[in-house]
Amino acid sequence: MNLKPYKFRPVLKTVIWGGEQIVAFKGIDSDLHEVGESWELSGIDGMESVVDGGEDDGLTLTQLIDRHGAALLGEQVYMLHGNRFPLLVKLIDAHRDLSVQVHPGDVMAQRLHSCSGKSEMWYVLDNEPGACIQAGFKEAITPEDYDRHVADGTIMDVVASHESRRGQVYFLPAGCIHSIGAGNMVVEVQQASDVTYRVFDYNRLDKDGHPRQLHTRQAREALNYSSYDECIRQSGATINDGEVLVECNHFVVERYEVAGMTHLEIPESFLVMICVEGEVEVVDENGSVTMMRRGVTILVPACLSRLDLHGNATLLTAHL
């Protein structure tokens, strides 16, 4: 069977800080409100993506990998990760500030949670005037400084704040303190981990009137206490007519501007494609056509070697 690019049913998540933009951005029907996240591609238990259409319709992402293995993921990726999809891709709409948080690295996450760590990147889709991203410390602090700021509620005094703009890229390696400020909508590409340590949550209450749980002790161990002034990434090298936005040990994210027709070579890995603006027709080497518009995410199998893109669109791609 010739594999084709896959579409998946979005998993929408309502949260206390969520807004109303994601449903409209994706152009889908939903009665949900305060949608903070759309899990576009996920193999995480309880939030797993399900194939939408085609011969594999209804399969979870894990079942899809079980069925197609290396043809879907690529030989090296399949050898390293088996049927566990190594990335998690989301849309995030922050109507209010997200909690200030940090994620553990691979060693700590494996020891405490039997999973990978969590490095991530954000691509700003839209932002309200004055919206900010918090990332890294203004200057290096010590664990003892951290303890004092947590105790007296002044942790935000030492966290760096950056005014966001559309198209801006942030890279948040594991250990980097961070928060998405109110008024931002972003694409998030991350390692496939759902481990988050909340440091501060603006003294908010949950829907039952209780303070949300903090994880300040675990965060103390996970944090990188040096200042981090490279979170805002500039455009990198041009590869295959695309801009490299982030390249790290866990993923590579690129941006493509399609104006008419663009030819794209597939790496020896699966390829995630997210349409963030416009519309595009994706034609693979077997002649299969997949239509993408703003808000659509597809998974391109590793067994395909090239794509022709026709239309006018901005696309993000992610692979290992």
Structure tokens at 155: 């942790």
Instruction: Count CA within 13 A, CB hemisphere, residue 218.
Output: 18
Contact indicator for 33, 21 with CB cutoff of 8 Å: no
pTM of the full structure: 0.95
Query: Helix, strand, or coil here: 271?
Result: strand
CB atoms within 10 A of CB 11: 18
Tens place of pLDDT per residue across the chain (320 aa): 689 999 999 999 999 999 999 999 999 989 999 999 999 999 999 999 999 999 999 999 999 999 999 999 999 999 999 999 999 999 999 999 999 999 999 999 999 999 999 999 999 999 999 999 999 999 999 999 999 999 999 999 999 999 999 999 999 999 999 999 999 999 999 999 999 999 999 988 877 888 889 999 999 999 999 988 778 776 555 555 689 999 999 999 999 999 999 999 998 999 999 999 999 999 999 999 999 999 999 999 999 999 999 999 999 999 99
> CATH number of 6-233: 2.60.120.10, 2.60.120.260, 2.115.10.20, 3.20.20.140?
2.60.120.10
Q: Please name the residue that has the structure tokens 């030492």.
A: 158
Q: Which of 104, 108, 71, 73 is nearest to 87 (CA)?
A: 73
Beta bridge partners, 316, equal: 255, 274
Contact indicator for 225, 141 with CB cutoff of 8 Å: yes
Distance CA 54, CA 229 (A): 45
Query: Helix, strand, or coil here: 216?
Result: helix
- Fold match between domain 6-233 and domain 240-319: yes
* CA 261 from centroid of its chain's CA atoms: 27
- Please give the class, per CATH, of domain 240-319: mainly beta
Domain spans of the chain? 6-233, 240-319
CB atoms within 10 A of CB 238: 10
Radius of gyration of the chain from Cα atoms?
20
Q: Please name the residue that has the structure tokens 């690019």.
A: 5
Strand segments (E) across 95-139: 100-102, 120-127, 132-137
